[in-house]
Amino acid sequence: MIKFENYPEELKKFLDSAGDSFEQIVQNEIGDVYIEFIFVDSNTMAKLNTEFRGKQGATDVLTFVYGEDNLIKQDVGDENFIQPYAEGYLCIDVIKENGEKFENPFEKELLTVIIHSILHMAGYDHEYNTENAQEMFDKQSKYVEQVWSRLSLSN
């Protein structure tokens, strides 16, 4: 299951349209897990980037994987609360800038970043251990094109 938090209302339709595709990618790459994507502003992202990566400035996405040991159900009042397997923090400002830089529509750049984060959640890396980097980017391209063409056909 994927949950999106703190997203601008204008993204609801896109996230709803792409949601099943994201779920399928998670199933294919990770399995039956609960993940969250949280939208943050540039200042928050810059702080997270400095704190967790030691890098200055905002980035488009930061991914944190907690693993299956974290899938603990807790009773919170009348609800069950499930700790996420992983979280992805998304910065719309940087995603917009990158879309312009790479000549992608904003929605396609957002799609790319979410899929990129899901692949990190699945254990792919391109920064610290480049062993599976090419496979990661090949899968990312394949998934982006599949989902983008599906979304484009449905509009």
- pLDDT tens figures, 59-82: 999 999 998 665 545 555 555 567
- pLDDT tens figures, 87-141: 999 999 999 999 999 999 999 999 999 999 999 999 988 877 778 888 999 999 9
- Calpha distance 132→46 (Å, rounded): 27
Task: Take residue 61 and report the two structure tokens written for it.
Answer: 């996405």
